[in-house]
Amino acid sequence: MLAVLAPGQGAQKPGMLTDWLDLPGAESFFRWAGAIADADLLTLGTSGDAEAIKDTAVTQPLVVAMSLFVARELGGLPGPVSHTPHAGRDVVIAGHSVGELTAAALAGVLSVEAAIALTAVRGRAMAAACAQTPTGMSAVLGGDPDEVLAAIDKHGLTPANMNGAGQIVAAGALEGLEALKADPPAKARIMPLSVAGAFHTEYMASARAELEGLIGGLAPADPSRLLLSNADGHGVSTGAETLARLVSQVTSPVRFDACLATMRELGVTAVLELPPAGALAGLAKREWKGAGIEVLALTTPGDLDRARELIDAERGRAEAQHLPDWRVVVSPVRGTVQPAEVAEGSRLPAGTPLGSIRSRREEVNVSAGYDGVLAEWLVHDGDLVDAGDPIARLYPEVSE
């Protein structure tokens, strides 16, 4: 399985568009994206200095537009990505913070225009929220996770990003961040981040309210591939749920650690991080150290050939194993799962019971929708699942 990661704000660098403008159609794409975002993204991404690209209002659409452009170069914009193995069914998409809007476009939930426009509104609204109260963010690197969380709480801060690989980002009032830096948890290092304010906290409430007033005018499609949410690392099953989560994440912590855990459980074998790349690839490499998963950060156009080779290798891997298209059986409701006693590798006729989901109000049975082979269980007895969360993976029977 191939994972595609879309970075968020903080991944930007001065001049990050310059090398990519040699690709056909690049300049016109960024002029068009800038017109949608009401910002000069082309100038910002080529000659903008570090202070200019720190501006939340314009940096967010710049990051999303850059990721979407390079995805197009790989053949994946918008909707199902034709170049991925098995017409997109062997791919999982995850974004970090504003990168979730990129991911939503890659999964076919939003059009490119809608993703860029919504990102621009989000960026301006969050910039306005930042201007109301001086706040900030600091990365806490290392230390015992429980001790780190306790120290963050002690200073009145919020764990805004749980990134995995020993990285938690604290957010809140500047005096609280200074106190945390002066009194760090044992074996932890505090690194102040160059951001405009405390993203993913209640300080962004006004931005969330503004977005809530807009999403009713959008007509999202359901995801065409497995799309993971920063809220909990679970798959999102509908377009409406995707939009609701995009709004709520403005004031909610980013659980990228949960996304990484889900990818590992799904059996991801290769990862591509879209530009401006590096941060998420680094997290994945540290979190999965020794797992044999290739992680490629697309940092220059020179990386496109390797990305295509990696995509072809993933396709070849699936074909060599004679694996047909697989499908994920998902939970129809929120509740506690009780899997059936069916062994992985079992051949199942359509209608075979796969277990039940027990909620406070009802018990819903789940069954195989077609003849197939149970490739793997994705849950254990007693696990709590949301509607749309994957339960099991099945391969349809192949006719000889």
Domain spans of the chain, in order of start: 2-128+203-320, 132-198, 327-396
Residue 185 contacts residue 147 (beta carbons within 8 Å): yes
Report the pLDDT value the prediction gives residue 213, as an integer from 0 to 100.
Answer: 92
| Alpha-carbon gap, residue 107 to 92, rounded angstroms | 9
- The domain covering 2-128+203-320 belongs, at the CATH homologous superfamily level, to Malonyl-Coenzyme A Acyl Carrier Protein, domain 2 (3.40.366.10)
Same fold, 2-128+203-320 and 327-396: no
Report the pLDDT value the prediction gives residue 395, as an integer from 0 to 100.
Answer: 77
Report the pLDDT value the prediction gives residue 320, as an integer from 0 to 100.
Answer: 53
Sign of the Cα torsion 41, 47, 52, 56 reads: positive
Q: What is the pLDDT along the chain (400 residues), one digit of tens a residue?
A: 899 999 999 899 999 999 999 999 999 999 999 999 999 999 999 999 988 988 999 999 999 999 999 999 987 544 444 333 333 446 899 999 999 999 999 999 999 999 999 999 999 999 999 999 999 999 999 999 999 999 999 999 999 999 998 999 999 999 999 999 999 999 999 999 988 899 999 999 999 999 999 998 899 999 888 899 999 998 898 999 999 999 999 999 999 999 999 998 888 989 999 999 999 999 999 999 988 999 999 999 999 999 988 777 766 665 555 444 567 888 888 899 999 999 888 888 878 899 999 987 788 888 887 778 888 899 999 999 887 788 998 876 544 3
Q: Inter-axis angle of helices 205-212 and 112-132, to 10 degrees?
A: 150
CA distances from 148 to 158, 184, 188, 283 (A): 11, 8, 8, 18
| Alpha-carbon gap, residue 331 to 112, rounded angstroms | 29
Report the pLDDT value the prediction gives residue 81, as an integer from 0 to 100.
Answer: 40
Q: Inter-axis angle of helices 112-132 and 56-73, to 10 degrees?
A: 160
Report the pLDDT value the prediction gives residue 78, as an integer from 0 to 100.
Answer: 45
Task: Provide the CATH number for the domain formed by 132-198 in this structure.
Answer: 3.30.70.250
Catalytic residue among 67, 111, 155, 200: 200
Report the pLDDT value the prediction gives residue 70, as an integer from 0 to 100.
Answer: 95
Residue 363 contacts residue 268 (beta carbons within 8 Å): no
Report the pLDDT value the prediction gives residue 83, as an integer from 0 to 100.
Answer: 35
User: Is 380 designated active site?
Assistant: no
Q: Domain 327-396: state its class.
A: mainly beta
User: Is 86 designated active site?
Assistant: no
CB-based burial label for 322 (10 Å; 0-12, 13-18, 19+): exposed
Report the pLDDT value the prediction gives residue 220, as an integer from 0 to 100.
Answer: 93
